Each structure stands twice: as C-alpha cells, then as structure tokens.
C-alpha cells in the first residue's frame, strides 16, 4: 500500500483545493500518471502518482481544501480490492471531518477547523450539553423556546452543541447552505463576506461552489447577503433593542458615504503575509545606481521590428538587464544564495524569478530556470512565455518554484526609485526603474567631456545584510551597470 500526498505546490503554498479527480477508486494507474487536479492561490496543477497500482481509497473529495502533506488517496498493488467505503462520496467526505473533530477536542481549533463543524455527524452528541443562552444559536425550532431542553431533540443539528470557547461556525450563512457540500475555505469566505449562498453560481464539479466563484462574487460587487449569520440569529424584540449593535463590515459606499471596504483576495493576502515575514527575517539594505542605457537603446531600436516579427514579442529593456544580472552573478556568486542555519547556501544554478502583475489584483513570480545557460533572445522569449501563462493562470508548480534571485520590473510605469522587498529565502531583489531621455555629461575615449542626450535610468538593489556587506553588494550592482553600458549588445542579437 502507498499513500499519495498533497505536494508542495510553490514555496509559500500551504494548502490546495481538489478541483477534479481524473481517476476513480478501482482504477489502475501508472507512475507519473496525472490522477487529480488541484487549485492553489497561485497555480492550478495536475498531480501525478508517485507509484503504480490500483486506487483503493480516495481520502479527499472534489471541493475539499487540504494541507500540504495530507493524504489524498491510497494506492495498492494491481490485485488490491477497493476499500469498502472508497467509492462512497458521502462516507469519504465524513471521514476527514471526523478526524478534524477529534483534533478539536485536544487542541484549540483554528478558523478552518471551526468551519468544518456543521458537516460533522451527530455522533458528537457526547459533547457538553448546550448552554442555557440561546441568543447566539442558529435559526432552529429549539431556538424559539424560552428555555432550552436539558437534552437536544433528535432532529436538532449539531450547531447548538458549541461551547462558549467554540462559537458556532459561521459557515452556513443561509439555510440553503446546510444542504450544500462546501469546502472549509469556501465556507469561511462566504461567512467573511456575508454572502447569500443561494445567490452564488458554482463552476466546480456537479455545480459545486469553489473558492474562485466566491472571490468572483466579491470582486464583482455582489450585494446579496445572508439573512443572518449563525451568531446573529433572531432574538426577542426587547433583547434586540437592549443589545449594542455588532460591528459590521463596511458595505459598498452609497452617495453620501466617504469610504468603502475592499476585501483582500487570496493572492493579495498571501503576498502580504510573505512580505511581512521577509521584512521580519532579513535586515534589508538598499543600494541604487544610475545606468546609461544608450547602447541598449540603440540596439533595441535597430532590431525591435525584426525581433518582434521572428519571436512574436517586443524587445524591452528587461531581458538586457536580466542577462547583465546573470553574468554579474558569475563574479559575485554570494548574491545567488539563501541564508541557512549559521551559513550562506550558495546556489550553482541561477533560477531567475520575474515578478508579474496580475491586472493589479496581485503578483506572482514565475521562474526562468537555468538562466545562466541562456542568451538574451532565449531569456526574452522565456520571460514573455511565463508572463503570458501567469496572466492566464496557466503556470505549473514547477514554473513558480526554485527561484534564487528576483527582478521586479516597475520601470514600465516610469519609477525613479523603488525599494523592493526580498523574496524569501533569497538574499537579493533587483528593481528596474523608468528610463528617460535627458542631458548628461559624457566622456569620450580621449577623455574629452561633452553634454549629450542619453537614455538614463536607475537600478535599485535590495539585499540581505546577513549574507554580505555593502561593499560586496555595491560592487555587484556596479558590475551590472558596467555590463549594460559597455557590452556589445549587437553581438547578442
């Protein structure tokens, strides 16, 4: 028997949602054969099987969100019989949630565990009896009685069993959601944004509501809300008058209001968490140098039409800067490294990450693997291909993992200086700034000075002071500038 586990789909990814099983219990599978589709905040990927055999049990159903390392399926040898409940969708759904319930009895529940409570079986009747206060209970017949019965009625739902330190999960914003199979993350998002489940259209398997469906509703400004959240069940009129108003999320602004609330999407939330960790981890230092890109501009103008006709992409400044950075690392290898436990881990391959904006909704960093072996045209084509896949949400897990250095290309907006945050666990990040035509003093081969109009820009380097000092970082950036200014770029094309 072998277990198929949820793989690490990116350096900052901690969980994924099962979107589609490509195989069923009893199917024969081969090693490296795709068996399930998984969606994360960054990529949608097909997960291959690490072994050959027969699927005997599926542990996570479509729509479930599982942590990295969690068991997705059990694979036996070719003659293995399927598990008794392997083909029953409802049983498979219940199984992991019963395990979660057991974990909740021994540890403080987090948000995701609390969200799982409504789908637990009635076997939890061994929980402490309901507290007398019923104001916070969901809408049920028992909630309308002046005092709760000593024991729950047989047809009651599990929610009234919640104790004061385990408040009822806000995973069922409306009665309709009780009959729906929703993953914990979907339930949490619905509750966070006070959405009415009945107004959401599902695009998942069998019409199931997915995380993307909820985010699309939020970003589209859906105003439909549930009649009441679980902790806001109707109370007697006198109690309503006496109770202080609950803090509520700010609804979309109407005429006369001065602000509105925009919820963070998952990419925005995860990016923020990653950047906060980076600032807390690395002592950031920033070095900025001016660069004369007149030589690069001359070559660009001479070859841009031919390059676009042959490669199908525009010839921008970015591949020139990327090529210069990769070559400079050959002389300053400690820039292509990460900090370990009391040591600097220097990487041999330069895996170049390029930050890509996703229509102002977040960014992602696809990686050009083995960039040290690519010349300028190959770098340009690879970067353009990865950027296109990123914007179309077609990146694979390999496309966003393994980066060793990163470039963030803010210069397209005409920036002067930007102070980028290091993409952990790397030790440097380079920001390209805007290029402008302006007069500068230039010196010819004979040492004569003159004023000329040149294409000038800045390069901003953020680096980790744990790995090296300012002299090393400044010499590295100086080398990038020298390569850009002095190389015969005509020969590269």
pLDDT in tens, 80-111: 555 554 444 444 444 444 444 444 444 444 44
369 carries an active-site annotation: no
The three-state secondary structure class of 121 is coil
pLDDT at 205: 58
Q: Is 56 helix (H, G, I), strand (E, B) or coil?
A: strand
Q: Where does the pLDDT of residue 68 fall: very low under 50, low under 70, confident under 90, or very high at 90 and above?
A: confident
Instruction: List Cβ neighbours of 90 (8 Å cut-off, separation of 6 or more).
Output: none
Q: Determine the Cα–Cα distance for residues 38 and 43; give it in Å rounded to an integer.
A: 8
Q: Which of 115, 469, 482, 488 is catalytic?
A: 469
What's the confidence (pLDDT) of residue 180?
Answer: 59
- For residues 294 and 185, the model is more confident at 294
Q: Is 469 in the active site?
A: yes
CA distance 143 to 431: 59
Q: Which of 431, 407, 404 is nearest to 417 (CA)?
A: 431
Residue bearing the bigger pLDDT, 72 or 470: 470
Average pLDDT score over residue span 107-134 = 45
Tens of pLDDT, residue by residue over 32-62, are 888 888 877 667 778 888 889 999 989 888 8
Token pair for 388: 């296109």
Q: What is the pLDDT of residues 134-165, one digit of tens each?
A: 444 444 444 444 455 445 444 444 444 444 44
Joined together, the tokens standing for residue 165 give 């330190």
Q: State the pTM of this model.
A: 0.57
Separation CA 14–CA 68 (nearest Å):
5
Q: Which residues pair with 17 in a beta bridge?
A: 39, 65
Mean pLDDT score across all residues of the chain: 77
pLDDT digit string, tens, across residues 272-327: 888 999 999 999 999 999 999 999 999 999 999 999 999 999 999 999 999 999 99
Q: For the segment 411-450, what is each residue's pLDDT rounded down to a tens digit?
A: 888 999 999 999 999 999 999 999 999 999 999 889 999 9
- Compute the distance between CA of residue 124 and CA of residue 410 in angstroms, rounded to an integer: 54
Are the CB atoms for 39 and 19 separated by under 8 Å? yes
**Cα dist. 285→43, 165, 339, 428 in Å?**
31, 44, 15, 10
> What stretches of 310-448 adopt beta strand conformation (E)?
337-339, 344-346, 352-357, 363-364, 367-368, 405-409, 428-432, 436-443
Question: Which residues, at least 6 apart from 181, have a Cβ–Cβ distance to it below 8 Å?
Answer: 61, 63, 93, 119, 208
Of the candidates 32, 373, 465, 482, the residue annotated as catalytic is 465
């Amino acid at each position: 028997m072998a277990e198929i586990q949820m793989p690490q789909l990116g350096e900052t990814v901690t969980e994924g949602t099962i979107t589609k099983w490509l195989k069923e219990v009893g199917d024969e599978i081969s090693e490296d054969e795709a068996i399930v589709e998984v969606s994360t905040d960054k990529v949608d990927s097909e997960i291959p099987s690490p072994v050959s055999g027969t699927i005997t049990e599926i542990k996570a159903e479509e729509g479930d969100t599982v942590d990295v390392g969690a068991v997705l399926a059990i694979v036996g040898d070719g003659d293995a019989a399927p598990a008794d409940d392997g083909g029953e969708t409802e049983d498979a759904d219940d199984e992991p949630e019963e395990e979660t319930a057991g974990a909740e009895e021994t540890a403080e529940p987090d948000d995701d565990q609390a969200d799982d409570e409504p789908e637990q079986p009635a076997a939890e009747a061994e929980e402490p009896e309901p507290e007398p206060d019923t104001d916070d209970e969901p809408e049920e017949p028992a909630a309308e009685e002046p005092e709760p019965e000593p024991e729950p009625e047989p047809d009651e739902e599990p929610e009234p069993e919640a104790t004061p330190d385990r408040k009822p999960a806000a995973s069922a914003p409306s009665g309709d959601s009780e009959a729906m199979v929703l993953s914990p993350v979907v339930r949490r998002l619905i509750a966070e944004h006070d959405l009415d489940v009945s107004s959401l259209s599902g695009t998942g398997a069998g019409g199931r509501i997915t995380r993307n469906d909820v985010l699309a509703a939020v970003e589209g400004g859906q105003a439909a809300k549930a009649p009441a959240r679980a902790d806001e069940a109707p109370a007697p009129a006198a109690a309503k008058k006496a109770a202080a108003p609950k803090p509520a999320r700010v609804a979309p602004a109407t005429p006369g209001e001065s602000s509105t609330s925009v919820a963070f999407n998952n990419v925005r939330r995860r990016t923020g968490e990653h950047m906060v960790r980076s600032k807390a981890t690395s002592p950031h230092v920033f070095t900025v140098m001016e660069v004369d890109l007149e030589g690069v501009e001359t070559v660009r103008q001479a070859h841009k039409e031919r390059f676009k006709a042959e490669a199908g992409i525009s010839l921008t400044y970015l591949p020139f800067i990327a090529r210069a950075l990769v070559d400079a690392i050959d002389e300053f290898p400690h820039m292509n490294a990460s900090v370990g436990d009391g040591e600097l881990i220097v990487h041999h391959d330069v895996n170049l990450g390029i930050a890509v904006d996703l229509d102002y909704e977040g960014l992602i960093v696809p990686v050009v693997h083995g960039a040290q072996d690519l010349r300028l045209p190959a770098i340009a084509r690879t970067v353009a291909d990865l950027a296109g896949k990123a914007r179309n949400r077609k990146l694979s897990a390999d496309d966003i993992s393994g980066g060793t250095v990163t470039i963030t290309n803010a210069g397209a907006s005409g920036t002067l200086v930007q102070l980028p945050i290091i993409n952990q666990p790397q030790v440097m990040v380079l920001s390209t700034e805007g290029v402008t035509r302006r007069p500068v003093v230039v010196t010819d081969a004979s040492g004569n000075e003159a004023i000329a109009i040149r294409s000038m820009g800045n390069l901003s380097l953020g680096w980790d002071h744990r790995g090296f000092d300012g002299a090393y970082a400044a010499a590295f950036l100086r080398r990038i500038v020298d390569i850009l200014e002095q190389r015969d770029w005509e020969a590269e094309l």
